[in-house]
Every structure is written in structure tokens, then in C-alpha cells.
Chain A
Amino acid sequence: MNENINNVENEIKTDGLLAVSPSPHIKNGITTQKIMLHVIIALLPATIWGIIMFGAKAAVIVAVSVVSCMFFEWGTQKLLKRQNTVSDLSAVVTGLLLAMNLPSGVGILIPIVGAFVAIVVVKQLFGGIGKNFLNPALAARVFLFMSWSEPMAKFTPIGVADATAGATPLAILKDGTSSMDISLFDLFIGRMGGSIGEISALLLIVGAIYLVIMKVISLHVPLSYLGTVAIITFIFPQGGMSNLDFMLTQLLSGGLMLGALFMATDYVTSPVTAKGRIIFGIGCGLLTVFFRYFSNYPEGVSFSILVMNALVWYIDKATKPRVFGTKKAKAEVAKK
């Protein structure tokens, strides 16, 4: 019976002679699929760099993560009898981001579980694309991190020259006992231990510039996020480093670049207005520095973005622009 009703609806839609639709009536041809394709292109350089640095293991993790994300998307929608959206590539982006957030030595089970959490629990159960209130890849990363903290924090050292034996720059800074022996230049181009996709700040920035040029993301969130972190770390350096060195090390290490450029700018889980985006970015920055300075973990990017994700609804509500031609009703605002 349901099928019959659906068929009738489709007939009305595809009739074509008299198309009745709400505004907007002028369309520019941007589809979810195209935007997601741009994001994938922007993420590829950093991913390929990770695969070059960490070897075939990393490639396997990327492949497993992407394929299982697509599978879970397809499977859940089949099971819940929803319209299938695998072809809009959003699951591929989620899988790619998830893999970029994993260390190269995690094995095959962890990316599959991560894909399940990201797609089924965080995305589809909340209603599918556009309705998730947390960034799926980040939520999955935090889930995995809390579940298997040991393999998730074991970073393979790169090459032989690095004597840091798996400790990331942030862990060294946090520990405070041994001194940093990775130069800032190495940090910038990505010769250090870390998750697959987060190590090369240079290639991530190149990808983000591509996205900005293609008008996929705006600069509000990345600039306010990175700016907040930069200012605070410049004023309050730790571990006996000079202000500038400490600031640059903090900016270039850990998942900050990946988070600020690609995770915090996710359409669904970031505010709509420019003002809201700046508030969102500053909040992310403050929380990231807070977690890095005071928490037990060396890294706080994923936690801070998730916390701000959860606040997006309130930020949107508070920064709702005035409708043209109306006056701001102060009493009403105060009441709310």
C-alpha cells in the first residue's frame, strides 16, 4: 500500500508539465555531491602524504574506513526504508575524515567500528544527512579513543631519523620531561608521528585554500579558531619555550589543522551566520587550549569541536539576523 502512494507522488513530481515548488526558483546547480567531491579533492593531498609516510597499513585503513562507511550508509537506509543517499558522497567524506583521524597501527576492526558509530549511531539514527547534531567522524573518533585508548594513542614513528619513538609533539610538550627534537619546518610539512591525515599542516592548508576558492567553506571558523589558539598560546607559553616557538608548535601539531579546517567547518554542525561562526570558532579555540593545558589528554581538538557542535543550535538562535524592515524588540529579546 505504501508503495502505491509513493508511486503516485513520484508521478506528480516527474510529470514535468506543471512543476509546483516552493522558493528558491533560481538554482545554481550546486549539489551535495559536488560539494562533497570538492571536500574529497581537498583532503586527498594530506591523505596521500599520510600513506607515503606510514606505508601500506595506512592505505588499508583509509580503504576499510571509506568502504565500511558507505556500506553502513547503504545498509541502514535499506533497513529503515529511507531514500538512498550513498551517491551523494557524504559517507565517503566521513570515512575519509575518520581514517585521517586514526593512527596507522590500529588494525582493521577499529575503523569498521568507527564507521558503524559515525554512520549508524551519529548520522542515520538522528535522521541522515543534514540532521546529525555532531560531526560523525569526530564522534566516532572520540568513541574509539575512549574504547581502545591504548592502540588509539600509539603513534608509529616515521623513518629512522625520528628518535621520538611514537610520542607526538603534543605528548612531549605535555610530558615536559624530554625536549622537542622536531624542527618547526618538519612539523609544518608533516614529518612527525601522528594520525594518518593530520600530520602535514602544509597540505591541509593547501586543501583548505582550494575549498575557500571553490566557495565550499568560509574563513570565519578556521580563522577565529586558529586565531584564538594562537593568541592564547603566544601569551601563555609552557615548557620553557619562547612565545613564538610554543605558539607555532601548538598550531602545527596534533589534529588542530585538520579539525579547524575540515571538521569544524562541516555545514551541518556549524552555525549559519557569520557572527555565529566566529563565536563557534572562538569557543572551539578556547576549549582546545583549555584541554591541552589542563586535561589528562595531550590533545583536545575533537572534544572541543564536539562540545561546540552541541551548542550550535543555541548559537544560531542567539545570532539570528533581524528580518529586514523590522525593529529589534528589546523586551522580547530580554525575555527569551
Chain B
Amino acid sequence: MKKKSGFLTQLKEGILDNNPVLVQLLGMCPILALTTMVSNAIGMGLAATAVLICSNVLISLLRKFIPKQVRIAAFIVIISGFVTVIEFIMRAYVYSLYQSLGLFIPLIVVNCIILARAEAYASKNKVLPSAVDGLAMGLGFTFALFIMATIREIIGMGSFLGIPLFGDFYSPATIIISPPGAFLTLGLIIAVVQKIRNNAEDKAQIAKMKAQAMGEAKEEKDA
């Protein structure tokens, strides 16, 4: 029972409360470069998630053997090993996706989310929680990529997953799928997320204050 709730909170933490992209602002390079099409974004997100889970598990297993002084190098070796595996798998089974992601697959090695989770979580926790953490953070990353790519593909290309949504009367705003559009969209999404978080925080604080001075607050409300 306790384990299950821990699993769920970890998932929620990774996808919403502590989303690696929208809250921690990690992994900016793929989120800016690969969100012109939803299919690319999902492919990238899942590939990174797979690497993240595997590397988290292995690093967690080896956490007592890796000397502290060379831990970063060791993490990178482990991560790049898994990235190579994923790259070959993608090349064998989803060749078109492999081609459209191109250089960004090997670049998963230097994705800061993966290194950050290895350093901050997997090297300090047991195997199972580390695996769940990898899954949660990976899904959070995929979720952010998906939202951003959905917005950019619909506005910038007038399609979703390659299917055209509008007729001829809508001519897409090409700036959204060009690099400046990536920064604009990301900035706006982060602004909205921050606003929601701030509101939630305010509400929590107000609730706290209300609880502290219940009677007074009630009188004020009535007045």
C-alpha cells in the first residue's frame, strides 16, 4: 500500500509538479530543436525515456562501486552505452524516425535530464525507486515535448501528426516552426505553467492563513 502511493507520487512529481522541462528547465536543446513535428517529439521522448530508465537502474546498481571522484565520467559511459543500444534499435526497426531525428539521437548522451537524474537520484537511491524515477522523468520530458510539438505543429504547419487539420483558408504561421518560434512557444508555455504554480501556491498560503485565523477571516468574509 505504501509502496503504491510512493510510486504514484513519484509519477505525479515527474510529470507535473517537478516536470524536468517546464519546471526544472532541463533538456532545452531537444525541446527547442525537435518539436516541429509531433511524431519526432514522441519518438525523441520515448527514446530518452528508455535510456533514462536503463541508466538509472544500472547506476543505482553500481552506486556503491563508482568512486566519487570519477562518477560523472562513469555516468556518461553508462549513458552513452545505452544510447548506442537505442540508436541501433531505432535504426533497425523505425528507420524513418531514426533518419528524421538524425544527430539528436547520439546527443541524448549529453541530455542534462539524464545526467541530472543519475547524479541527483539514481546514485543515492535503491534500484526500484530509481527505475520509477527514470520512468516518471522520462514521461514528463515526453509530455512537455508533446505539448510543445502539438502547439507548434498545429499553428506552424496546420497539421497534427502529419494530418492536415485546416483547409486552404488557413495559411500556417511559419515563424512558429522556425527557431525564434521555438523560443517564443517555450517561453509562453513556461509562463503559463509558472502562473498556475503561483496561483496554487497563493491558494495554499491563503488556506493556511485562513486556518490560522478562522474566526477573523469568517467575519471579514461576512462583511
Contact = CB atoms under 8 A, between A and B. Distances in A.
Nearest to B220: A4
Contacts of A146: 174-175, 178, 180
A147 B173 CA distance: 4
Interface string B135-176: 000000000000000000000000000000000000101111
Interface string A97-117: 000000000000000010000
Given A1-B206, A121-B184, A147 B174 contact: yes
- A interface, over-half SS: helix
Interface in A111-143: 113, 121, 125, 143
A242 interface: no
Given A125-B191, A146-B178, A146-B180, A1 B173 contact: no
A148 B173 CA distance: 6
B217 A113 contact: no
A149 interface: yes
A79 to B, nearest CB: 10
A149 B178 CA distance: 13
A46 to B, nearest CB: 28
Contact of B173 (A113, A121, A125): A113
Nearest to B209: A1
Interface residues of B, number: 14
A149 B180 CA distance: 15
Interface residues on A, range: 10 to 19
B58 to A, nearest CB: 43
Contacts of B217: 1
Contacts of A121: 184, 188
Contacts of A143: 175
Contacts of B171: 148, 151
Contacts of B206: 1
Nearest to A149: B174
Nearest to A4: B220
B220 A1 contact: yes
Interface string B187-221: 01001000000000000001001000000010010
Contacts of A148: 171, 173-174
Nearest to A2: B206
Residue in B173, B178, B220 with the greatest tally of chain A CB atoms within 10 Å: B173
Interface of B: 171, 173-176, 178, 180, 184, 188, 191, 206, 209, 217, 220
Interface of A: 1, 4, 113, 121, 125, 143, 146-149, 151
23 contacts: A1-B206, A1-B209, A1-B217, A1-B220, A4-B220, A113-B173, A121-B184, A121-B188, A125-B188, A125-B191, A143-B175, A146-B174, A146-B175, A146-B178, A146-B180, A147-B173, A147-B174, A147-B175, A148-B171, A148-B173, A148-B174, A149-B174, A151-B171
